[in-house]
Amino acid sequence: MAIYAISDLHLALSADKPMDVFGERWQNYMQRIKQHWQQEIKPDDCVVLPGDISWAMQLKEAYKDFEYLNQLAGLKIISKGNHDYWWETVNKLEKYVREHTFHKMHFLHNSSFLYNGWGICGTRGWICPNEDHFTKQDEKIYNRELQRLERSILHAQIFSPSKMLVALHYPPVNRRKDMTSGFVTMLKKYEIDVCIYGHLHGDSHQDALQGIHEGIAFQLVSADFLEFKPFKITM
């Protein structure tokens, strides 16, 4: 019963927008994801998917991408990315997967999940205030995402987990690795053990916050950074 993570699958079975147009790194990426997943993930494992799952524009158009995920082993915990335009209310999403019998697939939004003693929580996140061209609208979204993260963490604490995992789509700090962001402050406040995130691709991988900082283990889990192999968080 291990926990894995991988973000930014950018599945394109439901939309004609395959990522292989972005270079050799992405060639045959959907086949590679499936192959690695089948080699690594067991039926009782949990896979956290923090955003940018499907290129579909509407939920009704995402069927083939969800079917693809449903055929893969393990419990899937899905949160929202900046390109998940198909995202609806959680009630509508849960109804959709029930109607299509997409088993062991759940959505993280103002909520949390307990798995093998771990509290799994998170939100989409946003760019941080010290980013260039940070606007008043960005500030509004940033503060809203901080509130959502706190609600998710507090929801997880109800179950008294032994350890806590936070999943974000956006990095918790800007590329400058300024550790003063509200996200990092909140992770420290609630003594989060692990923070995973995605969103970064290509050359931006070199700016990723990785390893132990302020007692928190940070890990970039963008699919292309992981060479499309789910990252193992726990045994």
State the pLDDT at residue 89. 96
d(CA 135, CA 139): 6
Q: Identify the residue whose tokens are 């926990």.
A: 3
Sorted by where each begins, the domain ranges of the chain are: 3-232
State the pLDDT at residue 91. 95
63: left (phi over 0), alpha (psi -120 to 50) or beta: alpha
State the pLDDT at residue 7. 98
> Distance from CA of residue 90 to its chain's centroid?
16
Structure tokens at 85: 């335009």
pLDDT (tens digit per residue) in 64-101: 999 999 999 999 999 999 999 999 999 999 999 999 99
Strands (E), 71-207: 75-79, 105-107, 112-115, 118-123, 163-168, 194-197
State the pLDDT at residue 188. 96
State the pLDDT at residue 24. 78
- Residue percentage of the chain with pLDDT more than 70: 94
Q: Give CA separation, 101 vs 63, 69, 71, 88, 96, in Å.
A: 11, 12, 11, 18, 8
Strands (E), the chain: 3-5, 46-50, 75-79, 105-107, 112-115, 118-123, 163-168, 194-197, 211-213, 216-220, 231-232
State the pLDDT at residue 177. 60
pLDDT band at 115 (very low <50, low <70, confident <90, very high): very high
CATH class held by domain 3-232: alpha beta
State the pLDDT at residue 22. 63
The answer to whether 55 touches 30, Cβ cutoff 8 Å, is no
Q: Which residue has the higher pLDDT, 26 or 161?
A: 161
State the pLDDT at residue 178. 66
Q: Which residue has the higher pLDDT, 180 or 189?
A: 189
pLDDT (tens digit per residue) in 6-34: 999 999 997 777 666 566 788 899 999 99
Q: Which residue has the higher pLDDT, 132 or 229?
A: 229
Q: Which residues contact 162 (CB under 8 A, 6 or more apart)?
A: 117, 118
pLDDT (tens digit per residue) in 182-206: 999 999 999 999 999 999 988 878 8
State the pLDDT at residue 205. 83
State the pLDDT at residue 158. 95
Q: Which residue has the higher pLDDT, 56 or 21?
A: 56
Structure tokens at 220: 């970039």
d(CA 124, CA 109): 9
The overall average pLDDT reported for the chain is 93
| Helices 182-189, 136-157: crossing angle, 10 deg rounding | 10
Buried b (16+ CB within 10 A) or exposed e, 196-216: bbbbbbeeeeeebbeeebeeb
Q: Give CA separation, 55 vs 70, 185, 210, 219, 220, in Å.
A: 17, 32, 27, 24, 21
The answer to whether 72 touches 45, Cβ cutoff 8 Å, is no
CA-derived radius of gyration, the chain: 17
